[in-house]
């Protein structure tokens, strides 16, 4: 889940697993796997960084939990 900003400055949370396509036209348009489109202020490279960071935190938490379980 990543936090994004609509053009009207309202922020919302998007499930990054549902992103199918991102393009700058010059506004950034995100197309989800269900066909819904969102126009946001963030650039594609910023969104990509947010997704990578989210996944990094998620996987680190998962591996930390595995380590804790093996130490029991």
The pTM of the full predicted model, rounded to 2 decimals, is 0.81
SS3 33: coil
> If residue 69 lies in a helix (H) or strand (E), which one and from where to where?
helix 44-70
State pLDDT tens for residues 14-61.
999 999 999 999 999 999 999 999 999 999 999 999 999 999 998 887
Query: Do 46 and 52 meet the contact criterion of CB atoms below 8 Å apart?
Result: no
């Amino acid at each position: 889940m990543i936090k994004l900003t609509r053009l009207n400055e309202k922020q919302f949370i998007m499930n990054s697993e549902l992103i199918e396509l991102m393009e700058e036209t010059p506004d950034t348009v995100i197309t989800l796997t269900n066909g819904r489109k969102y126009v946001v202020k963030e650039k594609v490279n910023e969104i990509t960084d947010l997704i990578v960071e989210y996944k990094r935190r998620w996987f680190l938490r998962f591996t930390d939990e595995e380590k804790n379980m093996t130490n029991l």
